[in-house]
Amino acid sequence: MNEALLRELVPAVIGVLVRRGADFASAEDAVQEALIRALETWPDDLPRDPKAWLVAAAWRRFLDATRSETARRRREDLVEEQPSPGPVSGVDDTLQLYFRCAHPSLTPSSAVALTLRAVGGLTTRQIAQAYLVPEATMAQRISRAKRTVAGVRLDQPGDVATVLRVLYLVFNEGYSGDVDLAAEAIRLTRQLAAAIDHPEVAGLLALMLLHHARRPARTAPDGSLVPLAEQDRSRWDTTTIAEGVEILQAALARDRLGEFQAQAAIAALHADALTAEETDWVQIVEWYDELARLTDSPVVRLNRAVAVGEADGPRAGLAALAELDDTLPRHAAVAAYLHERDGDLATAARLYGEAAGQAHDLAERDHLTRQAARLNARLRG
């Protein structure tokens, strides 16, 4: 049985139930129960129209649940007015579901969890494993999120930027448990790109593909981080890079630049260099200037300082860094790198140690600790 097909059908089926009168939380629960039933029966009896089967099964589950409540009569009156389940277009329903799950009233973590459950079709157990939290904790988070958006009316255009940020959060979670969230984010963004013609959706998809293409070279066999400059570029996925560049070029040609397109352009310049030394840092600085103009983000300016250091020398990078708040995450790591390139190994070693103490990610902390130890060994020698 094609489990991927099941997950792709989830948002459209939920959308059908909501349009027929089900509240969002009940519709989502009914669809999850229908999925369980499908997993049990489809291996032996694959339906001719899987979507129609899921709609019918989920609708029956919904009716069974509502008949036991005080609103039974009102619900049944509503049901009599609905057409029988059958093949329906899911594009508009799917798009509305994206907007509902990324509603501004939700916290980022709740929006991500609800998107993975309602749009991605993942089970609560799978999401909990991916986030390394107990299943009961994730179930509570999802339940609260569903209650929050239960009464949300989507009679106004949704905020595409919010949806994209939620998908990018999913992508950046990477991989843990038995769910590859980076691959899942790419799948969901492809689905969104098929439902809405928007250059920033294409920009995000291109960015994800370009980053994902470097994944095989990003860690050593022992699990330690491999910096971009030291990665074995022969291990990069050139097919995925080519697809990302093609999608990006089509988006940029529409002349509606957004932050994800700018980020993808930077990633494309890295992917285009056969060696680290061939990287076009001057053009990367120009793209960071565009990105800073679009976002006014201190994190963007921090990354720009690194690019300036590569393009114009470490002292120029340190001058750019001096304009930023030194409490920014990764500020110490960037300063350490630039001081090392400038030949000040003692300062670099100290800053690498500070950065390691501030790092939340274990792999990053180990990498920074090794950098500090490497420089300290050189200083002692």
Residues written for the chain: 381
Average pLDDT over residues 327-336: 95
Question: What's residue 273's pLDDT?
Answer: 96
Which residue in the block uniquely carries the two structure tokens 């920074």? 368
Share of the chain above pLDDT 90, in %: 51
Give CA–CA dist 296/252, Å, rounded. Answer: 21
pLDDT tens track for 77-96? 444 444 444 444 445 567 77
pLDDT tens track for 44-79? 778 888 889 999 989 988 888 887 654 444 544 444
Paired strand residues for 179: 176
Give CA–CA dist 167/188, Å, rounded. Answer: 8
Is residue 41 over pLDDT 90? no
Is residue 4 over pLDDT 80? no
Give CA–CA dist 368/381, Å, rounded. Answer: 20
What the block records as the tokens of 66 is 């509502």
More confident residue, 180 or 220: 220
Output DSSP code: residue 85. Answer: P
Share of the chain above pLDDT 70, in %: 89
pLDDT category at 310 given cuts 50, 70, 90 is very high
Question: What's residue 158's pLDDT?
Answer: 61
255 Rama sector, left if φ>0, alpha if ψ -120 to 50, beta otherwise: left
Give the CA count within 13 Å in the CB-facing half-sphere of 289.
7
Average pLDDT, the chain: 87
Is residue 340 over pLDDT 80? yes
Average pLDDT over residues 299-311: 97
Out of 65-69, 113-117, 181-185, least confident range:
65-69
More confident residue, 3 or 336: 336
Q: What is the CATH number that goes with domain 295-381?
A: 1.25.40
Q: What share of the chain is helix, strand, coil (3-state, %, to 5)?
A: 70, 0, 25
Question: What's residue 82's pLDDT?
Answer: 43
The helix or strand, by DSSP H or E, that contains position 175, with its residue range, turns out to be: strand 175-176
The whole model's pTM is what? 0.80
pLDDT tens track for 231-252? 999 999 999 999 999 999 999 9
pLDDT tens track for 15-40? 888 888 888 888 888 888 888 888 88
What the block records as the tokens of 54 is 């899921």
